[in-house]
Structure formats: C-alpha cells, structure tokens
Chains A and B, each alone.
Chain A
Amino acid sequence: MDQLVALLGYEFVQNAIAAGTVIAIVSGVVSRFVVARNMSFAVHALGELGFTGAAGFILLRLSPVLGLLAGTAVTAVFIGALGVRARGRDVVVGVVMAFGLGLGVLFITLYKGYANQAFAILFGTITGVSRADVVLLLAIGLVTLVSLAAIYRPLTFATVDPEVAEARGVPVGALAVAFLLIMAAAVAEAIQVVGVLLILTLLITPGAAAECLTPRPGLAIIYSVAIALFCILGGILLSLITNAPVSVFVTSLSFGCYLLARFVVGPRRRDIRATSRPAESSAGTTVAEAH
C-alpha cells in the first residue's frame, strides 16, 4: 500500500491516471453506440489505420498521437463516403482497411529503427504519456464528448428506429458519417491505453457488458463508463505493481466484467423484471402470437 502511494507521487503515474480517466469516459460513452450500431468491424479498421497514420507521422517526425487521429479520421471519411448504409458497409470497411494497412507496411519499411514506437502503438503506451499528451488527449476527449452530446438524441433515433427517424426529418446519413468521425477520435484515444490490436476491449466490451445490466439507455451509458474506468485504472495500477503491460490487465478485467454482466448480474436482474412484469400474452387469449 505504501508502495502504491509512493508510486502515485511519480509524474508519469499521474499522467497515466489522468489520461486513463479521460479515455475511459470517452470509450465508455462511444462503445454504447458502437454496440448498438453493430460497428465492431469499423472500430477494428479505424484502429489498424490509426497505426498507419501514426507510422506515417513518425516517419515525418510529427506527433504520433496526431498521426493516430489523422489515420482514423481519414479512414472514417473514406468509409463514410464509400458507403454508410448498413448493407455492404462491412465490405467497404474491409476494402479501405486492406489498402491502409498496406500503406502502414510501407511506412515501417521506409523508417529505419523505430521498432519500439511501433510496438508501443500496437500494444499501448499509457504509462509513457507526457503532460502535453494528457492535455492533447483531454482536448480530443472534450471535443468528442461535446459533439456526441450535440447529436445524442437524433443519433439514438437513427440507431434504434431509422425508418421513423428519416420520416421525422432526422439526417440519418449525415449522422452516420458524424458518428464515424466521433469513433475515429475515440479510437485514437483508446489506442493510447491498449494499442491498435486490442482496441475492441475498450470500444466494444464496456458497452456490451452494460447492456446486460439495464434496459435504460441513459443508465447503460453510465454503466459502460464505470466499467471502462474500472478496467483502465485497475489495469494501470496492476501494471505498476507487477510490471506487466497495461493492456494485459485491461483486456482481462474487461473480459471479466463482460462475463460477470452477461452470466451473473444480468440474468439475475432480468429474472426480477420478468416476475414483476404482468405478461399480457398470458391473459388467456385465442391464438399464440406469431413472430
């Protein structure tokens, strides 16, 4: 315990905790929409092409964090421009991702001797972020959250009920592109913690675990943020104590949360709801309803 308190005195630890908190809030909120909109594959592609962007920026001796953001944002625009409809979207994502990864390979070959930085982007660098990085991550995080708050209602409408949303004048297509850009920023942030290869653990798992816990959309976002905070901060602390990489603990904790939510806490809550709900279909009627 004393050791832990001593650790918190180090600036790199404070930076990691500050950055981790911002990233957890962004990932928790965004992952709810990623899950509801079924966009796991797009998240994966944004992560991989964030890597391409970072590799390109390192080659040009620019900030890798901005490179990540540039990579994910360009990818989001490409996916959005080539197809935002649900059908065929995966195909477009695959096409864009394959080309972008090719570029990434090119950048790695061109740059001599940066295997360390490449490894950091692939697996996360949260304990290596500087004060300046924290400020940058905070700025990106704030812009992301404010944008998402601005489109929260129509995005929810377009996600859950696209036909009626369109009829009510909600710009369904434009919102799909806007959300891709928000995802791009969230992915660039989350890569700081777990890296490109493990990005889904922060942008899918908290949102997926949260939906097992409550039928209320607002509460689901709060649970999702809480789970992301627990995983990231817990991961950082465990990593400090054991010296193993942060991503190992973040992925384990988030997987544990998911299993717990899905198979232990969630079913228990559903049972309570089911028994308190007077089922209409059991009211002694004529024909069983066909689905």
Chain B
Amino acid sequence: MGSPAVRFEGVTLEYGARRIWSDLSLDVPPGAFVAILGPNGSGKTSLLRAILGLVIPSSGRILVQGRSPHRGDPDIGYVPQHSSFDADLPFRGRDLVQLGVDGHRWGIGWPDPTRKARVDRAVASVDADAYADAPIGRLSGGEQQRLRIAQALVGDPRILLCDEPLANLDLRYQQTITALIAGWRERTGGTVLFVTHDVNPVLGVVDQVLFVVNGRWAAGKPDEVLTSERMSALYGSHVDVVRVHGRIVVVGESTESGFNIEEPHHVPVPLEPH
C-alpha cells in the first residue's frame, strides 16, 4: 500500500476568531471514494480549499501525495460548487473543457490539433458531444455539470475534488453524475473527495465518510459512522439515524432548525424502475 493520496495530521482551520474544525487527522488511501458530509457552514468547502492550497491551516499539516498542498497542482481536478454562466456569454462547453487543458498558461493558445483531440475525448467521456458546441450559459444544470467534470478530468488528475456536484440536479442526473465519477475512479484508480449534503445518491460507491459538525468530526465506513450513537455524540444531542427504503436519514430533535442533515434542495422522488 503506497502513501495516502491525502493525509490530514492534526489539522485545525480558523477564519479569524472562528474555528471551522479542529485536530482533524485522516488518511485517504489512493483509489478511495470519500464522502464529506455535514450541515451548511461546517467547513466542507474549506476542507477542499485547504487541499488545493488556497487556505492555510492554523495548525497541523496536510499532505497531498506526500507533499504540501500547492496552488495549481496538476494532479488535482476540481469541480466547484454550482455557479451559473451568463446566458449570452460567447463560450461553449468545449471552451470550458479546454480551459482545463491549458487555461492557466500564458499567451493566446492558438488552435492545436493535439489539444482539440484531448478536449474531444474528455467531452465524449461524459457523453456531452451533443451540446458541447452550444453556449454554456444556455445548457441545463446537469449538462453544465457533465462539462465541468470533463474539465476537471481532462488534465488526467490523480485526485478529484467535487464540491456539491449533485446540488440542483434531479434524481436522474444525480445518478448519471455519480456514475461518471465512480466510473473514472474504476478506470484510473484515482481518488475522489466528494462534498455533499446528502449521502444517499453516493451510498453505493462510497467507501469512507467524513462527517463534520460544529468543529467536531467523525470518519470511517458509512455503516460505522452513520449510526445513532456516533451521530448523537457528534451533534451533542440525541439524533436518530434511520434507514428507510435503502436510504439513510439523520433526524434530530426538533429543537434546532435545520438539524436534519438531509436539508434536501429537492423533494425526494421515488426511483422509477428502469
């Protein structure tokens, strides 16, 4: 077994006086699929930004493939939280993917057949050929998300960081996007760190979860972490973890608003049989 893809050694992160999380120690082995869970504002995005070298921990250290995080690490692919594009922006899906190849380089970047071939392959690998030439701002959220994944993967990273890639997507697209990312991991042996507010869409492919609440955290296999005992300890009050129809729901006493970790953006829709 090689060195971990990402390693946290007693990492504490603070914004000013506010402590986001403290003393996080965790090894993410190469090829793992880790879901990072927790309520809004619990610092899930900050965790990804720390791996990208965009925020510096106040104590402890992070190692990415044995080295300190550094901005622009070509071994990391990044799918940011959903942000929309201006509908009239003259920019196509394939232009977005192309930024993943050489957008960070200086100069104009004249047309180049090798680059075009790479972009074509990345677009095809997410089945986005049909709309890769349309203006990106006029595509649906799911179509844009596919192209964002192609953009993150076109540079052949070893580690893929995804920030809420399933937010604002319907159930079908949640499955499609999950399958795309899981498929990439299968093919390449890459590592996936996947921030999500709902573990259920990825339950079938996840082998570790990291749950962050109010600066405390718990990590391990989903079955070990997502239990009433662990969750109650984490939240510091009584919490029930309920399994219904193969879905996991974490429900707390109704004393605090927004306590339910599901915080669904969408009303859960029963799966239609395929």
Q: Which residues of A contact B (CB under 8 A)?
A: 36, 149-154, 156-157, 160-161, 163-170, 210-212, 214-217, 219-220, 273, 277-281, 285-291
Contacts of A211 in B (CB 8 A): 88-90
Q: Distance in Å from the Cβ of B255 to the closest Cβ of chain A?
A: 30
Judging by beta carbons under 8 Å apart, are B108 and A217 in contact? no
Q: Distance in Å from the Cβ of A171 to the closest Cβ of chain B?
A: 9
Give Cα A149–Cα B108 distance, bound, in whole angstroms. Answer: 6
A287-B170 contact given A165-B104, A215-B135, A280-B130, CB 8 Å threshold: yes
Starting from the known contacts A157-B104, A166-B54, 16 additional A-B residue pairs (CB-CB under 8 Å) come to A36-B86, A153-B106, A153-B108, A161-B99, A165-B103, A165-B104, A166-B71, A167-B78, A169-B70, A169-B73, A170-B72, A211-B88, A216-B95, A278-B130, A279-B131, A289-B170
Nearest-neighbor residue (CB-CB) of A158 within chain B: B103
Judging by beta carbons under 8 Å apart, are B88 and A164 in contact? no
A160-B89 contact given A151-B106, A153-B106, A170-B103, CB 8 Å threshold: yes
* Interface residues of B, count at CB 8 A: 51
Interface residue B105 (Cβ < 8 Å from any Cβ of A): yes
Interface residue B171 (Cβ < 8 Å from any Cβ of A): yes
Interface residue B92 (Cβ < 8 Å from any Cβ of A): yes
Judging by beta carbons under 8 Å apart, are A161 and B96 in contact? yes
Task: Give the contacting residue for B140; candidates A36, A154, A156, A291; CB below 8 A.
Answer: A291
Nearest-neighbor residue (CB-CB) of A151 within chain B: B106
Q: Distance in Å from the Cβ of A102 to the closest Cβ of chain B?
A: 35
Interface residue B259 (Cβ < 8 Å from any Cβ of A): no
Task: Give the contacting residue for A169; candidates B71, B89, B140, B269; CB below 8 A.
Answer: B71
Q: Which residues of B contact A (CB under 8 A)?
A: 52, 54, 70-73, 76, 78, 80-81, 83, 85-86, 88-92, 95-96, 99-100, 102-109, 130-131, 133-135, 140-143, 151-152, 168-173, 265-266, 269, 272
Task: Give the contacting residue for B104; candidates A154, A277, A281; CB below 8 A.
Answer: A154
Contacts of B265 in A (CB 8 A): 290
A281-B140 contact given A160-B89, A288-B170, CB 8 Å threshold: yes
Give Cα A277–Cα B140 distance, bound, in whole angstroms. Answer: 14
Judging by beta carbons under 8 Å apart, are B107 and A215 in contact? no
Contacts of B103 in A (CB 8 A): 153-154, 156-157, 161, 165, 168, 170
Contacts of B135 in A (CB 8 A): 215
Judging by beta carbons under 8 Å apart, are A164 and B172 in contact? no
Nearest-neighbor residue (CB-CB) of A213 within chain B: B90
Q: Distance in Å from the Cβ of A159 to the closest Cβ of chain B?
A: 9
Write 27 A-B pairs (CB below 8 A) sorted by A numbering. A152-B109, A153-B103, A153-B106, A153-B107, A153-B108, A153-B109, A154-B103, A154-B104, A154-B105, A157-B104, A160-B96, A161-B103, A165-B103, A165-B104, A167-B52, A167-B80, A168-B78, A168-B104, A169-B72, A170-B104, A211-B88, A211-B90, A214-B90, A217-B91, A280-B130, A288-B170, A289-B142
Contacts of A170 in B (CB 8 A): 72, 103-104
Give Cα A170–Cα B106 distance, bound, in whole angstroms. Answer: 10
A156-B99 contact given A165-B104, A168-B104, CB 8 Å threshold: yes
Contacts of B76 in A (CB 8 A): 167
Give Cα A210–Cα B89 distance, bound, in whole angstroms. Answer: 10
Judging by beta carbons under 8 Å apart, are A290 and B170 in contact? yes
Contacts of B85 in A (CB 8 A): 160
A164-B134 contact given A211-B90, A290-B141, CB 8 Å threshold: no
A150-B90 contact given A163-B81, A167-B78, A287-B170, CB 8 Å threshold: no
Judging by beta carbons under 8 Å apart, are B89 and A167 in contact? no
Task: Give the contacting residue for A220; candidates B90, B140, B143, B269; CB below 8 A.
Answer: B90
Nearest-neighbor residue (CB-CB) of B269 within chain A: A287
Q: Distance in Å from the Cβ of B100 to the closest Cβ of chain A?
A: 8
Judging by beta carbons under 8 Å apart, are A164 and B169 in contact? no
Q: Distance in Å from the Cβ of A236 to the closest Cβ of chain B?
A: 28
Judging by beta carbons under 8 Å apart, are A169 and B104 in contact? yes
Contacts of A216 in B (CB 8 A): 90, 92, 95
Give Cα A217–Cα B86 distance, bound, in whole angstroms. Answer: 13
Q: Distance in Å from the Cβ of B195 to the closest Cβ of chain A?
A: 13
Judging by beta carbons under 8 Å apart, are B90 and A217 in contact? yes
Give Cα A279–Cα B131 distance, bound, in whole angstroms. Answer: 8
Give Cα A175–Cα B185 distance, bound, in whole angstroms. Answer: 35
Contacts of A220 in B (CB 8 A): 90
Give Cα A163–Cα B92 distance, bound, in whole angstroms. Answer: 18
Contacts of B168 in A (CB 8 A): 290-291
Contacts of A290 in B (CB 8 A): 141, 168-170, 265-266
Give Cα A277–Cα B105 distance, bound, in whole angstroms. Answer: 32
Judging by beta carbons under 8 Å apart, are B172 and A286 in contact? yes
Q: Distance in Å from the Cβ of B245 to the closest Cβ of chain A?
A: 17
Q: Distance in Å from the Cβ of A78 to the closest Cβ of chain B?
A: 26
Give Cα A210–Cα B86 distance, bound, in whole angstroms. Answer: 15
Contacts of B95 in A (CB 8 A): 160, 216-217
Give Cα A210–Cα B88 distance, bound, in whole angstroms. Answer: 10
Q: Distance in Å from the Cβ of A169 to the closest Cβ of chain B?
A: 2
Nearest-neighbor residue (CB-CB) of A214 within chain B: B90
Contacts of B172 in A (CB 8 A): 285-287
A286-B104 contact given A164-B99, A291-B168, CB 8 Å threshold: no
Judging by beta carbons under 8 Å apart, are B131 and A280 in contact? yes
